[in-house]
Structure 1
Amino acid sequence: MIRIRLGARGLGGVRFAVSPMGSAKDLLRLVGFNPGTLTPSWRSRATDALTRHRLGLLAVVGGGGPLGYAPDFLRPEPPAFLTDIDTALHQIATTPQERIRYELAEAVNGHSWDPGSGHPAPRQLLQALGRGEDHFARRLADEMARFWHAALKPSWPAIRTRLEADVTARASDITQYGLAEALNRLAPNLEWRDGELLVHLRTDSIHRLTLDAEAVILTPSVFVDRALFCAGEPPGTPAPRTPLIVYPAAKVDCLPPAQDPLIGATRRKLLAELSQPRSTTEIAKRLYLSPATVSYHLQILHRAGLVTRARRSRHVLYQRLGGMV
């Protein structure tokens, strides 16, 4: 369990952020550590980007190894609500040397790979690190840039729309129920209790940490189904960072009524049908609407980034973003 103790000042420092680089890291970790949780389309897109662009080092570091930990410097601390991709890549490339040494030592010595088992750190990682931390950081930034453009950039407008809508929903929760209840609603394994923010880890995890913090960054992701703790460390850690918690973004059909001016009753019904790919004709039959009416509403939802579309044979299939992950 992770315990983050927040006093009055710490509560005042709680903020939300939308992170394009964080989304890329979450996708990388799933490809490397738990690919079965990805839809075939995302799994194919990510693995194709890694293979086609020869991003071997990024796959090793970002994938998390057999034990699951992927170094946190691949997810830079967001300096603002929305950080552009170039700023985030610069943050990776200029990560302090001592921070890289600290995180990779944690990874190599038991968080990602177990040196005492049949899963030691890959030679590729050790060879790259042998050229120095600065070179290592610049190379990973370059590979992350190529991965971002190949795998995530085409879908980022839609993903960003969903993440920003999620934060809007959380702001509504804070207004209606207060910050404590809003925090409890973020993820099933995240809990606010007696002045502490608790991240309940999986039952097989041996990681335990209690720390005092003057701020916490909360960032939604479409690639996680439970809260993940990143970056916060006890005193004495090199180049310490603000504790950051990644939580699962709400599904499109879980958004509050404030979204009704865009969605409305008909479009909500369409979104409910699009948990799996469907054609305009199929949706029209299921909802007893004309194909022209369905097509009109789907075009609006597509422009808003709430659904994707792909051509298969002679048909164009639509799917809501929430059904892609």
Structure 2
Amino acid sequence: MVLRLHLTTDDLAQIRVATAPDPMWEILLSLHMLRSRAASVTFGAWRRAMRGRLAGAERARIEPLVPLAPPVGYSPDFLTPSPGAAGAADGIERVLATPRRHLRADLTRLAAQRRLPGWTSGLARGDPPTLRRLGDAMTVYHRVALTPHWEQIHARFDADRALRGRLLLDGGIDRLLNSLNPAIRWRPPVLEMRHYRADRDVTLGGRPLLLVPSFFCWEHPISLFDWGRAPMLVYPISHDVSWFDSTKRGDPERRLSALLGHSRAAVLDAIAAGVTTTELARRVGISQAGASQHATALRDAGLVVTARLGKAVQHTLTPLGAALLNGPNRTVA
């Protein structure tokens, strides 16, 4: 099955990459991953830890999310409203403000795929207490499952976004679109996405397309079912398989102990602009082997993230690295 997006010249000019991770998509896709057996190397440790944390009273509070986020098949579009939310709380408010016609349409579509519990009829009517229960479930789940790892999620997102920007500058829109995922192929004027839920042709009608890099998206891109809403393509980013372990390496002061010395400080400063290993060596005046060693040490300290796409390797700062470089007044996202 293939989705075919027919893009005009004006459509191409309006394509944008999201500026921050979308908490609603990460909630939904991490729920998919939590209930899946896929990606055991990358997400297995996180999955085991979450199953322990989301037990007892916490599990009861997130229960309304479970039937709405099956690991395969359709999940309601209203759980992932148009991006632009200023954090999880704002995103959840947008979910709770979903028009009743969308709640009803999405839940009717989900009910055709699987049996739903009786309380979802209240959700389809926009019943305020039922909506508040759903909002509480999303809030608890985000706090327990995502907030402790949001720095890692944001760092990988920033690395991917920097890489897409570099590909656009070096190779234009053709290279950008063909770099997103093996399932996405740009054959002007059509952007094809394989492994879609149906054969479908879509035109944007002047609406901008948003590309959303996602930490918990796995293997294949995903989109809203209803292309009459905000057009977006959510695609997987690359991962460091030790990402979950790196969130447990201790406090920042211990992790920064490897940074003593002028050379490494110069490397950190050079990476602020987003550089490849070759560019890093040239800017700092050291060998490529030395640049690679310094970048590895900074990455192990949680200050740098490396994104790889084919032969392209780019280093960018994590929020912690940016805060260290720019002083105590810099806010870590």
TM-score of the alignment, normalized to the shorter chain, above 0.5:
yes
2:68 is equivalent to residue 68 of structure 1? no
What's the counterpart of residue 108 of structure 1? 111
| Percent of residue pairs identical | 23
| Alignment counterpart, residue 265 of structure 1, candidates 292, 305, 319 | 292
Distance 2:7 2:239 in 1: 29
Give the drift of 1:13.
2.1
State whether residues 4 and 197 of structure 1, in contact with CA within 8 Å, keep that contact through their aligned partners in structure 2. Answer: yes
Question: Would you say the 8 A contact 2:160–2:237 is kept in 1?
Answer: yes
Give the total of aligned pairs.
258
Equivalent residues of 2:181, 2:221 under 8 A apart: no
Structure-2 residue corresponding to 1:279 = none
Q: Which amino acid aligns with 1:228?
A: P
Q: How high is the TM-score relative to the length of structure 1? A: 0.70
RMSD: 3.1
Q: Call closer, same or farther: CA 1:22–1:174 in 2, change over 3 Å.
A: same
Assess, with a 3 A threshold, how the Cα gap between structure 1 residues 134 and 190 changes in structure 2: closer, same or farther.
farther
TM-superposed CA distance for 1:219, in Å, is: 0.8
> Counterparts of 1:11 and 1:50 in 2: how far apart (Å)?
43
Distance 1:300 1:31, change over 3 A: closer
Normalising by structure 2, we get a TM-score of 0.68
Matched with 1:247 is 235
Looking at structure 1, the residues matched to 210 and 182 of structure 2 have their Cα atoms a distance apart, in angstroms, of: 18
Unaligned runs of 5+ in 2: 242-273, 285-289, 306-316, 322-333
Structure 1: runs of 5+ lacking an equivalent: 114-120, 235-239, 273-296, 308-325
Change (3 A) 1:104 1:264: farther
Work out which of the residue numbers 79, 83, 95 in structure 2 matches 1:78.
Answer: 83
Q: Which amino acid aligns with 2:171?
A: Y
Matches within 5 A, 1:159-174: 159-174=153-168
Structure 1 residue runs of 4+, over 6 Å off? none
Matches within 5 A, 1:72-221: 72-79=77-84, 83-110=86-113, 113=114, 121-123=115-117, 126-130=118-122, 132-135=125-128, 136-201=130-195, 205=197, 207-213=198-204, 214-221=207-214
Whole-angstrom CA distance in 1 between matches of 2:94 and 2:153: 22
Q: What's the CA shift for 1:142?
A: 1.7
- Alpha-carbon distance change, 271 to 138 in structure 1, aligned in 2, over 3 angstroms: same
Is this contact kept in 2: 1:2–1:209, CA < 8 A?
A: yes
Contact 1:163/1:221, CA 8 A, preserved across alignment:
yes
Q: Supply the distance in 2 between the matched residues of 1:182 and 1:300 (Cα, whole angstroms).
A: 26
* 1:171 match: secondary structure: helix
Contact 2:77 2:226 in 1 (8 A): no
CA pair 93-264 structure 1, distance change in 2 beyond 3 A: farther
Distance 1:267 1:98, change over 3 A: farther
Give the Cα separation in 2 of the matches to 1:232 and 1:9.
23
1:219-277 per-residue CA deviation (whole Å, 9 max, x = no partner) reads 1112223332322535xxxxx31221111113469x851894899411444589xxxxx
SS at match of 1:230: coil
Give 1:101 deviation, angstroms: 1.1
